[in-house]
Amino acid sequence: MDNAILKNLRERRSVRSFKPEQITDEELTAVLEAGTYAPTGMNLQDPWIVAVQNPDIIARLVRLNKQFTQQEGNPYYDAPTIVLVFASRPEKWKNGMADGSLVLGNMMNAAHAIGLGSCWINREREMFDTIEGKELMRQLGLPDDLMGVGALSLGYPAVPSRPARPRKENYYRIVK
């Protein structure tokens, strides 16, 4: 069985090299809107999505993220847009992390479908648990009781994607 959506899911790859030019507002809106259609527990639509294109805020995000990794270079791979996803902490809503993860997945697939590249970036939970991270959340107009779920580096891919690696054996099972 095959169709355009299944093909898109098979061909999407994480992009770690971006062109410097900014994506269009129309492209950004399409990706963000796709995130809002991710399924959420009890349809609470709990996650919060923040797209950042401001170079000063991006520099702060890079610096904050680098505190929690041993990698060299920009942890967002110099993408011109960073999309942050937040959700309620588990003590308020137990599905916050799962709901936010689905939002990120929808946005990655939407980005690929319209010719953009994306890469899921971790460490947002740790970043936004710091004093500086909490201050940045307030500057972004977010409530204090949220946690960072993850982020997307988003932009035009600088190089073509490689084909998918073979899937591992016994990845799924069917029980009848």
pLDDT (tens digit per residue) in 45-94: 999 999 999 999 999 999 999 999 988 899 999 999 999 999 999 999 99
Percentage of residues of the chain with pLDDT beyond 70: 100
Q: How many domains does the chain have?
A: 1
Average pLDDT over the chain, rounded to whole? Answer: 96
pLDDT surpassing 90 at residue 2: no
Single out the residue of 72, 83, 52, 59 nearest to residue 148, CA to CA.
83
Domain that holds residue 28: 18-155
Q: Residue 74 falls within a domain, yes or no?
A: yes
In a domain, 56, yes or no: yes
pLDDT of amino acid 71: 83
Flag whether 58 is in a domain: yes
Whether residue 106 is contained in a domain is answered as: yes
**Cβ contacts of 86 within 8 Å, gap of 6 or more:** 47, 48, 49, 50, 100, 124, 128, 137, 142, 146, 147, 148, 149
pTM: 0.96
CATH of the domain at 137: 3.40.109.10
* In a domain? residue 91: yes
113 falls within a domain: yes
Does some domain include residue 73?
Answer: yes
pLDDT at 1 > cutoff 90: no
